[in-house]
């Protein structure tokens, strides 16, 4: 009888103090007027919007069905299809980034001495340099830099720490190697979306702790910053997030302890580990960070809480949100005016925090 009583308490304590940890406090919104910026509501019937929404609903449903059956190759093929049928002015060529497969993306006029490491999203399971060419090409265009996109090792064939290691190795390689060969970078950035945003933000903390060269600025889109899924929007926006809800609906509705065990089984790290949950780490001493998200997505609070905590720790982070948009809506730059507006804001942010050298 005593064991029956104690077992639930022990399991609760294991989850509360080790796997999931205490719930992150709600930091107040920054007082500075430019720290949080909100942009307008998506109008119903707007040209291109309904077509994109329909495409995303169909794609997300098909991907979720494949993932439930562990058909990872089929799900990845669907994700890579995001780049099919599109024309790009950028040049793409494959490279070995310190043992990590990747490709250089160079928009017309890109400066090879200015470089960004771009880490794609996809829940640590999906995505590739190919699926995200719209984003990497646009990033090279608005920043004027050469974008190094990487195919980091993914779940479930590899562990979460393999992806972390690949990002660290590729970044350090990029500092001394560009698209034209060995050459030190003048300016460097780090960027990523969704799960790639997790990896990008955890990379910043690692660079700070190792006292290695930090990027001049970082940009993350709809990042997962809390793998404990404690944010209110993780469940509150299930009805409005047409991209993530089909995949994450069952996970976020699980009891917290079961959800923690799922993360440990999938990631092979604790959900409270700051590598998997950058929100739970030390956010001081980081470079300028721009975080963009949709008010309608499940990861809205991951973005909001990260920026609020970072600002409280003295890091110059900025939050920009758009009403009614999709998760990582920036990938639909050609279809959505809000996405084009977001890219203009990214270009503006980088120009102000890490301007190009004169004459560039």
Please identify which of the residues 103, 295, 297, 345 carries the catalytic annotation: 297
Per-residue DSSP letter, 191: E
- Residue 208 near residue 286, CB atoms below 8 Å: yes
Beta bridge mates, 9: none
Q: Please state, in angstroms and rounded to a whole number, the distance separating the CA atoms of residues 301 and 287.
A: 21
Q: Which of 119, 281, 108 is nearest to 208 (CA)?
A: 281
The answer to pTM > 0.85 is: yes
Per-residue DSSP letter, 342: H
Over residues 245-280, the pLDDT tens digits come to: 999 999 999 888 888 888 989 999 999 999 999 999
Give the distance, in angstroms, between the CA of residue 209 and the centroid of all CA atoms in the same chain.
Answer: 21
pLDDT of 281 reads 96
What band does 359 get if pLDDT is binned at 50, 70 and 90?
A: very low
Token pair in block for residue 211: 């006292």
Q: Is 60 buried (19+), middle (13-18) or exposed (0-12) by CB count in 10 A?
A: buried
pLDDT of 279 reads 97
Q: Which of 293, 289, 288 is nearest to 342 (CA)?
A: 293
What whole-number percentage of the chain has pLDDT above 70? 91
The question of whether 93 is a catalytic residue gets the answer no
- Residue 294 near residue 179, CB atoms below 8 Å: no
- Residue 278 near residue 205, CB atoms below 8 Å: yes
Beta bridge mates, 318: 290
What average pLDDT does the segment 178-194 reach?
97
Cα end-to-end distance, the chain, whole Å: 75
pLDDT of 28 reads 87
Instruction: Give the domain 30-42+79-353 fold.
Output: Rossmann fold (3.40.50)
Please identify which of the residues 194, 202, 222, 260 carries the catalytic annotation: 194
* Lowest-confidence pick of 12-16, 17-21, 47-51, 142-146: 12-16
pLDDT of 85 reads 83
Q: Please state, in angstroms and rounded to a whole number, the distance separating the CA atoms of residues 58 and 119.
A: 25
pLDDT of 325 reads 95
The question of whether 194 is a catalytic residue gets the answer yes
- Residue 82 near residue 331, CB atoms below 8 Å: yes
Please identify which of the residues 132, 327, 333, 345 carries the catalytic annotation: 327
Q: Please state, in angstroms and rounded to a whole number, the distance separating the CA atoms of residues 329 and 129.
A: 17
């Amino acid at each position: 009888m005593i064991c029956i009583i104690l077992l639930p308490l022990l399991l609760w304590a294991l989850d509360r103090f080790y796997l999931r940890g205490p719930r992150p406090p709600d930091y107040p919104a920054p007082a500075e007027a430019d720290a949080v910026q909100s942009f307008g509501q998506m109008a119903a019937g707007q040209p291109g919007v309904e077509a994109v929404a329909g495409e995303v609903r169909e794609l997300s449903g098909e991907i979720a069905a494949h993932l439930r059956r562990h058909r990872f190759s089929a799900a990845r093929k669907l994700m890579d299809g995001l780049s099919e049928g599109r024309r790009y002015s950028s040049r793409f060529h494959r490279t070995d980034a310190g043992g990590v497969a990747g490709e250089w993306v160079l928009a017309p006029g890109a400066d090879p001495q200015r470089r960004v490491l771009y880490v794609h999203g996809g829940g640590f399971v999906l995505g590739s340099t190919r699926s995200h060419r719209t984003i990497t090409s646009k990033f090279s265009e608005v920043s004027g830099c050469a974008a190094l996109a990487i195919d980091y090792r993914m779940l479930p064939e590899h562990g979460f720490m393999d992806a972390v290691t690949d990002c660290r190795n590729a970044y350090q390689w990029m500092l001394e190697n560009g698209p034209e060969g060995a050459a030190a970078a003048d300016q460097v950035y780090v960027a990523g979306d969704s799960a790639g945003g997790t990896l990008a933000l955890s990379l910043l903390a690692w660079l700070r702790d190792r006292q290695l060269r930090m990027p001049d600025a970082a940009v993350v889109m709809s990042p997962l910053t809390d793998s404990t899924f404690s944010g209110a929007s993780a469940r509150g926006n299930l009805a409005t997030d047409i991209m993530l809800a089909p995949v994450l609906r069952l996970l976020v509705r699980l009891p917290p302890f079961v959800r923690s065990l799922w993360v440990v089984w999938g990631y092979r790290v604790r959900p409270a580990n700051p590598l998997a949950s950058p929100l739970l780490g030390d956010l001081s001493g980081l470079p300028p960070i721009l975080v963009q998200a949709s008010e309608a997505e499940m990861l809205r609070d991951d973005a909001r809480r990260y920026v609020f905590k970072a600002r409280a720790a003295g890091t110059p982070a900025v939050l920009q949100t758009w009403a009614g948009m999709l998760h990582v809506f920036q990938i639909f730059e050609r279809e959505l005016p809000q996405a084009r507006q977001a890219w203009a804001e990214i270009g503006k942010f980088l120009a102000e925090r890490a301007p190009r050298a004169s004459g560039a």
